[in-house]
Amino acid sequence: MLSCYINLAYKLEMIRSASEQLIFNVLNYGAKNSMVNNINKLADLGIIKAEDLTNLKIVTDKYSLSISEEMINLIKKGKKYSAISKQFMPSLNELKEDEFERSDPIGDEKFSPIKGIVHRYKDRVLLKTNSACAVYCRFCFRREVVGPSGEKLTQEETNEAIKYIRKHKDVWEVILTGGDPFVLSPEKIGNILDSLDTINHVKIIRFHTRVPIVKPRIISENLLKVLSNRKATIYIAIHINHESEMTEKAKEACDKLAKKGFPLIGQTVLLKGINNKTSTLEKLFRIMLQAKIKPYYLHHPDFANGTGHFRVTIKEGQKIMRELRGSISGIAIPTYILDIPGGYGKVPIGPQYLKERNELNNFVEDINGRLHIYPSK
């Protein structure tokens, strides 16, 4: 009899939790025309041509489509916001794949001992809470698994993931990702943080999100309350690729997070035709710093299927980084990073300024390309 009551209580809790998430979704996503997740709606809005509909549907049948109301409103303004359009609008170029591309370009699956956990580095794990995002980037390295029908953790699977973290005493940092963890309701986020609060060896919790930029209304007082006063230090890693994404509402959302004391770090992907100019990144990184976001990583694009039209060469990326070094403050310069295909981890690939001359001396290159002798000792 007791087991029946326990099972009933568990089912009631699942229903209550699902209802709370549903209410959150309706409030944030349910307004009429508030978001676009159907290719036909793009045609109705006049953003794509009717004659392109059939071919583009092949793309969106393969890779998820979702564009927030905030981003749609910018895209509709035209050329000035083309950098946003290129990031979120489906393209026939996505049907082109080359020999280097793969469905799991950074090898998440290889290091996933249980559902929801990626344990690639000894002292940290990814906790992939959900598969949904407020927007789906056309260059996403997880594009094969994100989306409304992708991987989702049940409560039981979440509990198992927490048990895994509790068991592995070397785990110092937990990185909540997905999908985008901030599309979960504050209650669900709070439940996860409550569980992590009971694990003494977890000292850092990092959220990876695009929400403050693409759907800033979600950064509510309720969410801020849930994130606050935790045992571990919480970092927020915010993904932004172009200055045009930093709207006034986005600035306000970032300011709310910063005023609560959460360190904000920025992640940017180097993308052909969007931000692969020194002047473009210089403007972006200045704007990020002004919004209290420290540029953290500039990612070289991954070999995700159908993303070749976004890819730049490493040589081009290094040239941009070299030019940035001489034009903006050091605190505005991120690490240029490459995720080695197959799951072998991230490595910095920025330009090198120290060159060995002989056992006694090195050459050091300054920001103007001039070489200077510097003793080895």
> Distance between CA 66 and CA 82 in Å, rounded?
17
> Distance between CA 199 and CA 169 in Å, rounded?
9
pLDDT value at residue 9: 47
Q: Which residues contact 318 (CB under 8 A, 6 or more apart)?
A: 336, 349, 350, 351
Q: What is the DSSP letter of 131?
A: S
Write the single-letter amino acid at 301.
P
13: which 2 tokens?
Answer: 């809790």
9: which 2 tokens?
Answer: 């209580």
What are the b/e assignments for 336-360, b being 16+ CB within 10 Å?
bbbbeeebeebeebbbeeeeeeeee
140: which 2 tokens?
Answer: 């996403």
Phi, psi of 341 (to 5 degrees): -55, 140
38: which 2 tokens?
Answer: 């159907």
- If you search the block for the tokens 């583009």, which residue do you land on? 56
Per-residue pLDDT of the chain (377 residues; tens, 9 = 90+): 555 554 554 455 455 444 454 444 544 554 444 689 999 999 989 899 888 899 999 999 999 999 999 999 999 998 889 999 999 999 999 999 888 999 999 999 999 999 999 999 999 999 999 999 999 999 999 998 888 766 679 999 999 999 999 999 999 999 999 899 999 999 999 999 999 999 999 999 999 999 999 999 999 999 999 999 999 999 999 999 999 999 999 999 999 999 999 999 999 999 999 999 999 999 999 999 999 999 999 999 999 999 999 999 999 999 999 999 989 999 999 999 999 999 999 999 999 999 887 888 899 999 888 999 999 87
259: which 2 tokens?
Answer: 């005023």
Burial class of residue 66 (count of CB atoms within 10 Å of its CB; 0-12, 13-18, 19+): buried
Q: Is there a contact between 168 and 84 (Cβ–Cβ < 8 Å)? A: no
> Distance between CA 73 and CA 14 in Å, rounded?
36
Domains annotated for the chain, with CATH where assigned, are 2-95 (no CATH), 109-347 (3.20.20.70)
- If you search the block for the tokens 């992907």, which residue do you land on? 269
35-36 and 67-68 beta bridge pairing: antiparallel
Q: Which residues contact 376 (CB under 8 A, 6 or more apart)?
A: 356, 359, 360, 361, 362
pLDDT value at residue 11: 52
Q: What is the pTM of this model?
A: 0.89
pLDDT value at residue 161: 97
> Distance between CA 224 and CA 218 in Å, rounded?
10
Q: Is there a contact between 274 and 321 (Cβ–Cβ < 8 Å)? A: no
Q: What is the DSSP letter of 277?
A: S
pLDDT value at residue 28: 57
| Backbone dihedral region for residue 78 (phi beyond 0: left; psi -120 to 50: alpha; all else: beta) | left
Q: Is there a contact between 113 and 119 (Cβ–Cβ < 8 Å)? A: yes
Decide: helix, strand or coil at residue 79.
helix
Q: Is there a contact between 238 and 207 (Cβ–Cβ < 8 Å)? A: no
Q: Give the closest residue to 75 by CA, choosing from 31, 121, 41.
A: 41
CA distances from 264 to 82, 101, 181, 207, 291 (A): 26, 32, 16, 10, 9
Q: What is the DSSP letter of 192?
A: H
